[in-house]
Structures are given as structure tokens and as C-alpha cells.
Amino acid sequence: MATPRLNTKSPTIKRILREAAELSTAPSPDLHAAPASDSNLFEWHFTLRGPPSSSFESGIYHGRIVLPTTYPLRPPSFRFLTPSGRFEVNREICLSISGHHEETWQPAWGIRTALVALRSFMETDAKGQLGGLETSEKERVRVAGESGRWKCAVCARSNVDIMKECEEAAKEAGTIEDTEVPKELVIATKEDLEKMKDSVEEAELAEGFVQTVPRDPTEPSTPARPAQGVPQPTGTRIQETIRQDRSRHAHIQAVQRVSQDGVPIWIDRAIAGLVICIVFMMLKIVLGY
């Protein structure tokens, strides 16, 4: 069967291909992600190491990513295929970077960024999160020890084999570990997001500000880094705008004063006298004098 042709002019396809190329040319020793097949770029498989200094440290976990057709405007969804003791197997995870919380997703984030955050998020408690599990540390250590032998039927490789290739590729490319979660990325459960929302509303109320219209769903909860090429309202720019407004206002007032002061006072008196004469003549006619 011939491979279907892709619309390479589509912004979504361009973005997916660019991310796939970046993950290939700058491999990480701790995670791997790629389309599951050449015929479907919207389904990816990922493999990642457990976060260091945790009960998942010795584990290697495999999962599935589904990208929406409007990616990156809408977030991807994630699910683990390998038992981890932290997430349910083959069930979509509810995270602020996933499709369950589109309002917190930022198109500037990508698959690598999301996986780095997902890896660090494994250490947190489930707290009733959708797709989350509460298990003992002993159980998680046991599952982590068995995870390397797990083999994906689609990828046809074990987790150990995949990570070994990642290590070798990263060593050749000279790339470093992806251990730091980007500061601009807020990753939380639904409960945490509600607490953050309540805290923001309380702070706004304390400052005398009340949100009377719905927030833009694409607006980040924290100040996002400005896009390149878009002028930002810095302090100097704001002050310059204020000076321009004051200058414009002063000019309008000056024009109004010139217009008012330019009328001689005798013309005003003549007009007043003429009005009095007209009124007197009308009274004379009405009264019959």
C-alpha cells in the first residue's frame, strides 16, 4: 500500500515535522518520542526514564501521544502503556498540559517540553486525578524494576533497547539531559488548578479589581514570554505614550483658546444689541403699538 501524501503546507503538519526533526537531531538520553508510523503523524509513542532520586528512578516507561488536528493550538493527550504505579495503564491522563485543560495550554510548548514536565510530575501524589494511581513506594520500585523488559507491539522494541539507542545517539550528538522543567510551564492536577484560580480571584478582589468578563481561554495564568517581533509595552514606551497624549491634549486646548480669543468683544455686544432690538420690535407688533 502506498503511503498517503501529506499536506506539507499545513501549519500543523509543518509543526509536527519540525518537532520530529528536532527530537531526532538533538536526542535526549532520558526520553524518546516519534510518530508511531509514517502514515499517521498525529499518533506518537514516547519512552522516558523515571525521575532521578525517586521510586521511579530505575524505571523506563512507554506511552502514547495523540495530537489533535489543530495542534499546537490545542494540546495533545497522553497515556502510559507501561505499568508505573503512578498512572493507570492505557488511560488518558488529566494534566494541565493535556487535552483535559485546553485553557492552560500554550502553543509555544511542544512534545519535548510536555514530556520533560510529565517526567517530573510522576513524583507528585495522584490526589484523585483522572488516570492517576496511589500505590506504595515498594510497589512502584518493584514495577520500575520490571518496566525495562516491557515491549511495545507497535514499536517492536523493548524499553531498554529504546533507551540504549537514545543514550548512544545523545552521546554522539553531544546533547545533555532534559532535567529542568521550563519555568513558564505550570503543570498541575485539576484540584491544583482550582486552587490557583481561587488565589488569583482573591488577590484581584483584595486589590479592588473584579473580573466581570470571561477570561480569554488562550491567556496564560502567568505572564508568558512575548513572541519575537511583537513590541511590548515597556516602561519607557508607556511613558512616551503618556507624553504624546498630554502634548496632543495641550495642542487641542490651545487651538480652542485661539478660536475663542480671536472673536473681538464688540461683535459679541453688537449681536446682543441686535437681539434686544428684534425682541423689542416683536413685542411692539404683538401689543399693537
The confidence score (pLDDT) of residue 95 equals 74
Own/partner pairs for 58-63, CB < 8 Å, 24+ apart?
58/141, 58/144, 58/145, 59/84, 59/140, 59/143, 59/144, 59/145, 59/147, 59/148, 60/147, 60/148, 60/150, 60/159, 60/160, 60/162, 60/163, 61/147, 61/159, 62/150, 62/152, 62/155, 62/159, 62/162
Q: Kindly report, residue by residue over 164-218, the tens digit of the pLDDT.
A: 999 999 999 887 765 566 555 544 444 444 554 454 444 333 333 333 334 444 4
CATH 3.10.110.10 fits 11-193, yes or no: yes
Residues that are catalytic: 94
- pTM here? 0.62
Q: Pick the residue with more confidence: 28 or 267?
A: 28
Strands 40-49 and 151-152: unpaired
The structural domains of the chain, with segments of one domain joined by +, span 11-193, 258-289
Could you say which DSSP state residue 58 is in?
A: T
Q: Kindly report, residue by residue over 213-263, the tens digit of the pLDDT.
A: 344 444 444 444 443 333 343 444 444 544 555 565 555 555 455 445 555
For the chain, what is the mean pLDDT?
76
The confidence score (pLDDT) of residue 286 equals 79
Banded model confidence at residue 132, pLDDT cuts 50, 70, 90: confident
Banded model confidence at residue 114, pLDDT cuts 50, 70, 90: very high
